[in-house]
Amino acid sequence: MTAGTLDWNLARSRGPEAQGPAWEPEVCSRIGWQRGGAALLVDLIEGVAAQIRGHAAYEIRQPASPRRTGAAGDTHIGPEDARFHHSYASWLSYPDATAKGFEKEKPAWRVSEFLGLNAAPLRTPRTTGHGW
């Protein structure tokens, strides 16, 4: 049994197109992961539920999956970690508004391309030792 999906996001800047084999310093990329699938939905629900804390009783159940904390333990998770499914997407910065007069608005990051999904290997359930 796996602990859910990790989404790997590759953010790329828009720079001048490479004019040959040279590297262009204006073009940069960053990669990072976040909880995906049901765990990402839990993060969204927790954010909304925090606004009603103290006004209503609630309990949020969720799959056991890691959270990015900025701690050293985050570095032990990689795209080859067989405990998780991994999805991959490329992101680009786009103008936020396309309407005339809004051309100078702050850009927004959007998925440019879905790059695929790697499923975690299937694991057989543990037996109790009694053979059933």
Residue 131 — pLDDT band, cuts 50, 70, 90?
very low
Q: How far is it, in rounded angstroms, from Cα 119 to Cα 86?
A: 6
Does 78 reside within a domain? no
Q: Which of 16, 9, 68 is nearest to 43 (CA)?
A: 68
> Are the CB atoms for 39 and 24 separated by under 8 Å?
no
Least confident of 17-26, 54-63, 80-89, 105-114: 17-26
Does 47 reside within a domain? yes
Does 2 reside within a domain? no
> Are the CB atoms for 95 and 107 separated by under 8 Å?
yes
Does 38 reside within a domain? yes
Domain count, the chain: 2
Q: Is the pLDDT of residue 16 over 90?
A: no
Q: Which of 60, 55, 7 is nearest to 34 (CA)?
A: 7
Does 132 reside within a domain? no
Domain that holds residue 97: 85-125
Q: How far is it, in rounded angstroms, from Cα 49 to Cα 43?
A: 10
Q: Give mean pLDDT, residues 71-75.
A: 71
Q: Is the pLDDT of residue 19 over 60?
A: no
Does 111 reside within a domain? yes
Q: Is the pLDDT of residue 115 over 90?
A: yes
Q: Give mean pLDDT, residues 74-88.
A: 86
Look at the block and give the residue holding tokens 């005339």.
Answer: 100
* pLDDT of the residue at 132: 40
Q: Is the pLDDT of residue 7 over 90?
A: yes
- Top pLDDT among 87 and 121 is at 87
Global pTM value: 0.70
